[in-house]
Structure 1
Amino acid sequence: MELRGKVAVVTGGNGGLGQRICHALAREGVHLAVVYARSRDQAEGVARELADRHQIQAAALPCDLEDPAAAEALVAAVIARFGRLDILVNDAAYNIAIPFAELETLTDAVWEKVMAVNLTGPMRLTRAVAPVMKAQGAGRVVNIASVAGLGPTGSSIAYAVSKAGLIHLTRCMAVAMAPEALVNCVAPGLLEGTRATANLRPEQVERSAAGALLKRAADKDDCAEMVLTMCRTETMTGQTVVIDSGRFFH
């Protein structure tokens, strides 16, 4: 898909990886809806920087992924602001570090919040953009999962299961939205300078980096470039690409 002039929605667009994704898309001439949950000032700052640096249109828009009505409201706001919607990047996520063995700490409230933000929210947003993309005859959805979704690892059982669900949601939505829209997924390993990593215990960070073949964290720019590839592609759908410096093989 030709990217120049298209409109992308990036949830968590004010986060560490989200900002890299936004800038990568903006460099290609894509207009951006920088979606935030609570950090309005930061998201507006990101939108201003995108517009000034890349000479594109950008706006910060709110979306509470735990609110069942928020997805439809966000899509309506994007269409009203930009006139179209071509790309959805589901990057927003929530995690809290709970060792797997501490089952009593994994409360229903924690489980439900992780699932609401990491899995149910992306499902609702993808469902909301589907008719728009179908009507336009083209669209791209890129989910940001994690290697935690490919094996029993990560900050908590809830986080790992939510990301496993997001990977399979990618496959299912690829079937549901074909042939007009393509749906793919990036599964990063440890990423430095993100809120997700900031929530990890120090020993988890050290173990993740040491366990990689390349002995370093994954690169946020590599992940952002893969998002671009998945937006451009005409023949890849339902796929998950791992970027983790050589920790997990699938």
Structure 2
Amino acid sequence: MDLKGAVALVTGGNGGLGQRICHALAQEGVHVAVMYARSREQAEGVAGELKSRYQINAKAFPCDIADGPAVDRLIGEVTKAFGRLDILVNDAAYNQSIPFNDLDSLTLEVWDKIMAVNLTGPMRLTKAVAPVMKAQGQGRIVNIASVAGLSPTGSSIAYAVSKAGLIHLTRCMAVALAPETLVNCVAPGLLDGTRATANLKSEQIERAASSSLLKKPADKDDCADMVVAMCRTETMTGQTVVIDAGRVFH
């Protein structure tokens, strides 16, 4: 797909990885809707920087992706503001560090929140953009999962299961939305400088980095570049690409 002049909605676009994705897309001439949950000032700052640096249109939009009507309003607002919507990047996520063997702390409230944001939220957004992209005759959806979805690792059982579900949702939606819309997934390993990483204990961060073949965290720019490649592709769909400095092979 020709990216110049396309419109992308990036959920969690004000986060550590989300900002890199917004910049990578804007550098290709993509107009960007920066979706945020709470940090309005930060998201508006990201949108302002995108506009000034790349001479594209960018705007911040609030949304709780666990709220179905709010998601529908978001898609309506973005399409009204930009006139179209070609790309959805599901980057917004929530985690809470709970050791796997501490089942007492894995309450249903924690489980439900993680699932609502990490899995049901992307499903809601995908369903909401599907008719828009079908009517346009083209669309790209990129989900941001985690290596925790491919191996029983990560900050909690709920987080790992939510990301495994997102990886399989990618496959299922690729089937459902073909041929107009291509759906792919990036599964990063440990990333420095993100809110998700900030929720982890220091020993978890060190263990994840030292256990990789390259002995370092995954690179946010590598992940953002892969998102761009998945938006540009014409013949890849239903795939998950791992970027984790060599920890998980699938």
TM bucket, shorter chain: over 0.9
**Which residue is 1:63 aligned to?**
63
Cα distance in structure 2, aligned partners of 1:198 and 1:243: 19
SS at match of 2:64: coil
Deviation at 1:18, TM superposition (A): 0.2
Matches within 5 A, 1:132-171: 132-171=132-171
Deviation at 1:39, TM superposition (A): 0.5
Paired residue type of 2:147? V
Paired residue type of 1:145? A
**Which residue is 2:176 aligned to?**
176
Over residues 160-189 of structure 1, what are the superposed CA-to-partner deviations in whole Å (9 max), with x where a residue is unaligned?
Answer: 000000000000000000000000000000
**Which residue is 1:102 aligned to?**
102
Cα distance in structure 1, aligned partners of 2:236 and 2:66: 30
Aligned length: 250
**Which residue is 2:32 aligned to?**
32
Over residues 91-145 of structure 1, what are the superposed CA-to-partner deviations in whole Å (9 max), with x where a residue is unaligned?
Answer: 0000000000000000111000000000000000000000000000000000000
Cα distance in structure 2, aligned partners of 1:73 and 1:177: 21
Over residues 183-207 of structure 1, what are the superposed CA-to-partner deviations in whole Å (9 max), with x where a residue is unaligned?
Answer: 0000000000000100011111011
Paired residue type of 2:231? C
Matches within 5 A, 1:2-81: 2-81=2-81
Paired residue type of 1:107? T
Deviation at 1:66, TM superposition (A): 1.6
Q: Give 4+ residue runs of structure 1 displaced > 2 Å after superposition.
A: none
Cα distance in structure 1, aligned partners of 2:88 and 2:70: 15
Paired residue type of 2:173? M
Paired residue type of 2:7? V
Deviation at 1:68, TM superposition (A): 1.7
Question: Which stretch has the larger CA shift, 11-20 or 66-75?
Answer: 66-75
Is 1:233 matched up with 2:233?
yes
Paired residue type of 2:26? A
Deviation at 1:71, TM superposition (A): 1.5
Length-normalised TM-score, structure 2: 1.00
Cα distance in structure 2, aligned partners of 1:199 and 1:88: 26
SS at match of 1:93: coil
Which structure 1 segments of 5+ residues have no match? none
- After superposition, the CA RMSD in angstroms is 0.4
Paired residue type of 1:57? N
SS at match of 1:96: coil
Cα distance in structure 1, aligned partners of 2:92 and 2:136: 25
**Which residue is 2:243 aligned to?**
243
Length-normalised TM-score, structure 1: 1.00
SS at match of 1:69: helix
Cα distance in structure 2, aligned partners of 1:64 and 1:185: 22
Cα distance in structure 2, aligned partners of 1:200 and 1:65: 23
Paired residue type of 2:146? S
